[in-house]
A and B are shown apart, each in its own frame.
Chain A
Amino acid sequence: AQTVTQSQPEMSVQEAETVTLSCTYDTSESDYYLFWYKQPPSRQMILVIRQEAYKQQNATENRFSVNFQKAAKSFSLKISDSQLGDAAMYFCAYRTLTQGGSEKLVFGKGTKLTVNP
């Protein structure tokens, strides 16, 4: 079964600085999707960025980018120019298919990011 590991329960960063959140996963599949979701105090899950495994190019969305290392099964999230509004729980997720053919997301345990002014 696929597993997702986020080894950093908490991280902090100074406003305007850069921070990297780690995520590793375990899978035997060759084609899959990876996601980073953000959950602010409102608890609304917000999609930050997605990566398709067959694409070698790292995904980028404004200040958010990933470092996707397929061979190492690593999918880290870099937040540049951190803003106070970036403070949230960040969940790494792997998309897989169940035996019945439906899809499911497997989430890591999350990393709580604090942004200091």
Chain B
Amino acid sequence: GAVVSQHPSRVICKSGTSVKIECRSLDFQATTMFWYRQFPKKSLMLMATSNEGSKATYEQGVEKDKFLINHASLTLSTLTVTSAHPEDSSFYICSAMGDRKVETQYFGPGTRLLVL
């Protein structure tokens, strides 16, 4: 149980274009989803937290207009990197949490984004 998927697993795009990454909880309803960014050989940095049906809460320093997050249903959240630049190249990971009693985040496999 507690499987989270991400799509695509890797994407290459041209500078200036937008890229959408999907995060799905496959076998549970995710009331809260999280988006992280991980640089090579570094730890995970929380970008934003989203609750189903409400606006995402962004961490300090994360541009909300650049990283659009939508949590339209209890099983799907999307991250759109708008007007991507080479410095946005990174590994993006989502996680989901459903059952509050468990208090555990389950992670997706990540998406590697390369902006040329």
Chain A residues with a Cβ under 8 A of chain B: 33, 35, 37, 42-47, 50, 52, 91, 95, 98, 100, 102-105, 107-110
Q: Report whether B104 and A35 are in contact in the complex, using a CB–CB cutoff of 8 Å.
A: yes
When the two chains form the complex, which single residue of A44, A102, A110 contacts B57, counting CB atoms closer than 8 Å?
A102
Which residues of the other chain, A, contact B104 by a CB distance below 8 angstroms? 33, 35, 47, 50
Q: Report whether B109 and A43 are in contact in the complex, using a CB–CB cutoff of 8 Å.
A: yes
Which residues of the other chain, B, contact A105 by a CB distance below 8 angstroms? 34, 44, 46, 105
Q: Nearest-CB distance from A106 to chain B (Å)?
A: 8
Q: Is the interface of A mostly helix, strand, loop or mixed?
A: strand
7 closest Cβ pairs, A-B complex: A45-B107, A107-B43, A44-B109, A102-B49, A109-B43, A43-B110, A107-B44
Q: Report whether A33 and B110 are in contact in the complex, using a CB–CB cutoff of 8 Å.
A: no
Q: A43-B110, A107-B43, A107-B44 are in contact. Are A98 and B57 (CB under 8 A)?
A: yes
A-B contact count (CB 8 A): 54
Q: Is the interface of B mostly helix, strand, loop or mixed?
A: strand
Q: Give the CA-CA distance A56 to B115 in the complex, in Å.
A: 48
Which residues of the other chain, B, contact A100 by a CB distance below 8 angstroms? 57
Q: Give the CA-CA distance A107 to B51 in the complex, in Å.
A: 21
Q: Report whether B106 and A47 are in contact in the complex, using a CB–CB cutoff of 8 Å.
A: yes
Q: Give the CA-CA distance A74 to B109 in the complex, in Å.
A: 29
When the two chains form the complex, which single residue of B43, B44, B97, B109 contacts A42, counting CB atoms closer than 8 Å?
B109
Q: Report whether A103 and B32 are in contact in the complex, using a CB–CB cutoff of 8 Å.
A: yes
Kindly report which residue of chain A lies nearest to residue B44, judged by CB atoms: A107
When the two chains form the complex, which single residue of A50, A91, A95, A98 contacts B44, counting CB atoms closer than 8 Å?
A91
